[in-house]
């Protein structure tokens, strides 16, 4: 079975502070990991995926297979980063996308 855990329901930081949204997963094979974001009154959208190894809107995430983690990081948070962030896992082959329960990020001025 595959499982995604986001331990924090809410993360509140000040503008300019570093941000780390935690994501841990459970999967026996080689997963593909994603971060999706949902801004207020907008659709759920892909933020980044681990195989792309890219930085989107200043966010990065590194897959740590040893710790089975895929934490999302940004060195300096901006107010426009306030949103709901979901970590998601897809196993090999034709498997479903399993989401964590999400972390609400609030960035205060």
Partner 1 sequence: KAGVTQTPRYLIKTRGQQVTLSCSPISGHRSVSWYQQTPGQGLQFLFEYFSETQRNKGNFPGRFSGRQFSNSRSEMNVSTLELGDSALYLCASSLAAASSSVLTFGAGSRLTVL
Smallest separation (angstroms) from partner 1 to the CB of 73: 21
Which residue's CB is nearer to partner 1, number 40 or number 43? 43
Minimum distance of partner 1 from residue 106's CB (angstroms)? 16
Q: Which of 86, 71, 87, 88 is nearest to 18 (CA)?
A: 71
| Interface contacts to partner 1, rule CB under 8 A | 32, 34, 43-46, 49, 51, 86, 90-102
> Which residue lies nearer to partner 1 by CB, 15 or 101?
101
Structure tokens at 67: 């710790």
Q: Residue 21 class from Cβ within 10 Å (0-12 exposed, 13-18 middle, 19+ buried)?
A: buried
């Amino acid at each position: 079975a595959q499982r995604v855990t986001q331990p924090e329901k809410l993360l509140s930081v000040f503008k300019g502070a570093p941000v780390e949204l935690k994501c841990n997963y459970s999967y026996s094979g080689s997963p593909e990991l994603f971060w999706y974001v949902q801004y207020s009154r907008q659709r759920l959208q892909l933020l980044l995926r681990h195989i792309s190894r890219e930085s989107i809107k200043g966010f990065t995430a590194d897959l740590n297979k040893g710790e089975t983690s895929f934490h999302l990081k940004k060195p300096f948070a901006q107010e426009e980063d306030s949103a709901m962030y979901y970590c998601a896992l897809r196993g090999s082959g034709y498997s479903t996308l399993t989401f964590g329960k999400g972390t609400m990020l609030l960035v205060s001025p």
